[in-house]
Structure 1
């Protein structure tokens, strides 16, 4: 009986101190484009198909994975103390679901923030897929001081960055996968998808008889009005504000002006798809309330404008406690519990052995 009890206690003690096997494989990211492989054009926007395997999927967990395009250096990983604007930089974009496609948020399954995800969901097996739009070889990023820095991917190594989303630091989901910068279009603007080559009629046009209508006025083609948007949560005096504009003239150079010259940034080069993304540093002295941002440099009398609220810089900012800190505290309590349980079991085992010896001596 004593021998059986001792074996049971030893088995329980061994299960407590045995290492827990990893619940997921090493995270990996695959990148491809319609031009072949992990390549981006230095001048024109490139859409990358990005997929992940081996990522940690937390059912019902807060947050998920941010997918960026940018550059890293040193110990850039947030779990090792790396910070954005110092150890890694990425193309700015708004965190809204309908952003410019430079950043994607992939949510954990059943997450409380899954409704705002624009990059899908991490499967239970740790797989996900999304697309990232790379504006070109150069972009402006925000540094730790709230200023802007130009990143040239022809001079530094750039690629896809993945980190934990919504303030959750997760070492298992931190990756950097480099891409190659290569002239994909021979210096010429890419043709719109599905459009026939210039001067080449399609099959229907070739088969149809030519009909001439005298004095038939050509129907005017309405151009889409430019749309300007800002990342409203970052609109705080003294901080950097990212903005995105669509429907602009490709190749134009525009400047962003706050109010009547309170702050300005630029010029920014409009991409081949008529889109531009930039960063403007809001003055510390900017008063709280509604302000206007305009883009100048386009044809037309009315520049694109967006009105938004700026929070005063002296307003207190409430920092949310990251769930990762709670997880570390829980781990410390768990380790303490296992150590205490081990001590109790070892004591019980010793008492049983001692009682057995006394029984033998008494006999």
Structure 2
């Protein structure tokens, strides 16, 4: 009977911890460095931040990775705790394509099938580095329904946000690193900024290919007006993020789908001639090629883009399989551990039966 009891304890110690506990992971850590070496952004002009992460959970070959945003969070903002974008956390919108405006970055898992659309790749130890552009202290944040909210980082705390990419929440990879808003450039010195101080309501027009100086002598060349969308999100009934460059600063633009099937706006182009937002695609929008156009009146630049739309509910088989695989990895369940639990359960039952028979025999 003693041997049976010891066997039961060994099996219980083997089965229960494996089935109940998963691998432990430390919380990811983020450091932010601005032009002057500190975690500071300018309230008026675009600021380039160098963001470095360490201690993140790296899923080898996993689908997705980590999104890096600039924005504001509230209590309970984490997606793993039910936090929702546009309600609990807010960020500067941008296209999810690799050549976006730099307002958000995608860091792919090592060996991921999504690496081609990422701006950076995580190492096996969970380290990564990315460059994030902050357009200023005030931005428009959007929710999944297309609603917008103005966030003023001079009134609320803003910073760098990291969350699991492609809708897969991961508490280990959810972080918020606050930054300070302070004047980095002398607006009264044209040689320091290379551009006039913005004036509310003023319209600044620049040639499409004019080279101009920006903060701290950096130069940028304005491109011809162009519009781009996040093609992976082009599904009927879903929200479609878009971004545009080369627009007239301060001008209002309206977004029109096809011949007026859907629309949004007006949107105001920023001082650098860019804007970004989202458009809610109609649920009954037919599959195929559609045209999205920015419109600001006759005789103005009106960039457009053609893109394919999928029917609601359609998802490639490989994406479904990959998502299922990642979900299993993110939840901390090891397939080998699950198999061990299944195999150990019958042994535990047999041991219990043997103990019962021994006790009954001794009583007899």
Deviates more, 1:184-193 or 1:172-181: 184-193
Q: Give the corresponding residue for 2:202.
A: none
Query: Across the two proteins, how many residue pairs are aligned to each other?
Result: 329
For residues 220-235 of structure 1, what are the structure 2 equivalents within 5 Å? 224-235=223-234
Q: Give the corresponding residue for 2:42.
A: 41
Contact 1:94/1:231 (8 A) holds in 2:
yes
Q: Render the CA deviation track for 1:140-161: whole Å, top value 9, x for unaligned.
A: 1212432222221122221111
Alignment equivalent of 1:316, drawn from 288, 312, 317: 312
Contact 2:94/2:276 (8 A) holds in 1:
yes
- What are the ranges of 5 or more consecutive residues in structure 1 without an aligned counterpart? 198-221
For residues 1-363 of structure 1, what are the structure 2 equivalents within 5 Å? 10-11=9-10, 13-18=12-17, 22-118=23-119, 120-187=120-187, 190-191=193-194, 192=213, 224-235=223-234, 240-249=239-248, 251-258=249-256, 263-272=263-272, 274-280=273-279, 290-296=290-296, 301-309=299-307, 311=309, 315-318=311-314, 322-323=323-324, 326=328, 338=341, 341=344, 344-345=347-348, 348=351, 351=354
Q: Render the CA deviation track for 1:236-294: whole Å, top value 9, x for unaligned.
A: 56655433222345x4333234267763523414234x433344556778777533412
- Equivalent-residue separation in structure 1 for 2:339 and 2:285 (angstroms): 50
Deviation at 1:51, TM superposition (A): 0.7
- Equivalent-residue separation in structure 2 for 1:223 and 1:26 (angstroms): 40
- Equivalent-residue separation in structure 1 for 2:10 and 2:141 (angstroms): 56
- Equivalent-residue separation in structure 2 for 1:147 and 1:235 (angstroms): 18
Q: 1:12 to 1:253 in 2, by over 3 A?
A: same
Q: TM-score normalised to the size of structure 1?
A: 0.74
- The structure having more radius of gyration, on CA atoms, is 1
Deviates more, 1:301-310 or 1:315-324: 315-324
Deviation at 1:48, TM superposition (A): 0.6
- What are the ranges of 5 or more consecutive residues in structure 2 without an aligned counterpart? 195-212
Contact 1:228/1:304 (8 A) holds in 2:
no
RMSD of aligned residue pairs (Cα, Å)? 4.1
